[in-house]
Chains A and B, each alone.
Chain A
Amino acid sequence: MFDLIFLIILLCITYFTGSIIEKNHFKKIKQREIRLIKKPIITYGTKRFQTNRPVKKVELVTGEVVISGDYFKNFVASLKNLFGGKLTPFESILDRARREALLKMREKAANASIIVNARIETVLLNNIYIPNSVPQCAIIAYGTAITYDNQKKL
């Protein structure tokens, strides 16, 4: 009986804390995205980048985020597993993580002119076949940051 009461209390607490954290995170993500609108430009499809402009620096930039759902979201997802369908509780977590990883990558390349060949990878960190394992995964955004040398002329 105490297990059930404890579970209800835990669900209530994690729902409120999770909602507040998520709301604040989205707010910060939006602010950072707007700040980074101007630069650098990202290209996702370029396999071979060619330019006539003088290049100052070429480097690999990465942005990594490890995510996990809160207790409430995991609980709702475990209930949802019974019936199947869209796992909507995890959608917001995945969206936050993907945007956060991209932002980190772009912030690392803040002085670069362009990020080419950018990719997003997802890695599952836990073993889903182990009972009671917490669902968690890492999102890695990476690309090649190119900085043009504006002082040199063609």
Chain B
Amino acid sequence: MTIKKNYEELQAALIEGENINVSKSSDLKNFFILIISIIGIIVAMIFVFNVISDIFISTMSDDTQIKIEKSISIKQIDLKYPNVTTQELKELKNLNNIKSKIIAADTTLKNKSNFPITIVNNSEINACILPNGIIFITSGLLKQKYTEEELAFVLAHEIGHYANRDHLRIFSRQILSSLIFITISGNTNSFDKFLNGVTLLNNLVYSRKQEAAADEYAGRILIKIYGTNNGGKTFIKKIKDNENTSNFLHYFSSHPSWNNRLNILNKQM
């Protein structure tokens, strides 16, 4: 009887005691160690690939650049905008004049794109450039009646992206991101989301650097043409007054904060 009782006590002690089948290491600790090491690997891979692609793109010949640009963008013939008003045509002429001044100010742009400008019917204040140099300007931006210097800043900023070969850099980054995705990612959806988020944050940081470089370029061109970059400063101030975004949000934005952009121009003059 006592043997049986002792056995039962022993069993109860085993049940209540330490479970040797379950590791003591905490899942949360494992999680953080894994996350930190994976982020470290991704960042290191992105850094190495970026250095390689930056060297490759900056040493690329103009002919190769033009060939790639032609193959990845739409032609201007494909664009049809029937609803261009006479007022817009007048503004287009004005923009083309400013554009000629910018091209004349930067000798590196010779024998490349002639940067055709197209007006897009959109109320937003925005502009963009395609890899082959086609510039889009929204009708919303033209309605704001910006001065010549301010419009020159907008155009020079977009041409700055072209001059810095930003589109090719973005292109190579996207190829590299997908490469990292394919090599690291397993089949799990959540892991894909995590990788996507890390590379997106990294791309945003890079995009902000590119925008800052384009602002810097635009400021330099403005100083060359008009002797001052005040046009850029007033443009940024006007946009800043219209928008009320928090400073924190710029970490999730593709552009630097308006204050940072102003600082870039202030440093020039």
Residues of A within 8 A of B (CB): 1, 3-4, 6-7, 10, 15, 30, 33-34, 37-38, 71-76, 78-83, 86, 88-89, 91-92, 94-95, 131-133
* A79–B31 CB distance below 8 A: yes
Main secondary structure of the interface of B (DSSP, over half): helix
* A78–B188 CB distance below 8 A: yes
A72 — nearest CB in chain B belongs to which residue?
B27
* A38–B30 CB distance below 8 A: no
User: Would you list the 10 A-B pairs with minimal beta carbon distance, nearest first?
Assistant: A4-B197, A131-B187, A78-B188, A79-B34, A88-B23, A95-B21, A92-B22, A78-B191, A3-B193, A33-B15
A134 — nearest CB in chain B belongs to which residue?
B188
| Known pairs A3-B193, A34-B12, A79-B191; A89 contacts B186 (CB<8 A) | no
Residues of B within 8 A of A (CB): 8, 11-12, 15-16, 19, 21-23, 25, 27-28, 30-31, 34-35, 37-38, 184, 186-191, 193-194, 196-198, 200-201, 252
* B22–A91 CB distance below 8 A: yes
Q: Could you write out 29 A-B pairs with CB less than 8 Å apart?
A: A1-B201, A3-B196, A4-B193, A4-B198, A4-B200, A7-B197, A10-B190, A33-B15, A34-B15, A34-B16, A37-B11, A37-B12, A71-B190, A72-B27, A73-B27, A75-B31, A75-B191, A78-B186, A78-B188, A79-B35, A79-B38, A82-B184, A86-B23, A88-B23, A89-B27, A89-B30, A95-B22, A131-B187, A131-B189
Q: How long is the Cα–Cα vector from A6 to B189 in the complex, in angstroms?
A: 13
Cβ-neighbour of B190 out of A1, A37, A75, A81 (below 8 A)? A75
B16 to chain A, nearest CB (A): 6
- Other than the given A1-B252, A33-B15, A37-B8, 4 more pairs (CB < 8 A) read A4-B194, A15-B28, A81-B186, A131-B187
Question: In the assembled complex, which residues on chain A have CB atoms less than 8 Å from the CB atom of B27?
Answer: 15, 72-73, 76, 88-89
A1 to chain B, nearest CB (A): 6
Q: How long is the Cα–Cα vector from A91 to B30 in the complex, in angstroms?
A: 13
Q: How long is the Cα–Cα vector from A75 to B19 in the complex, in angstroms?
A: 24
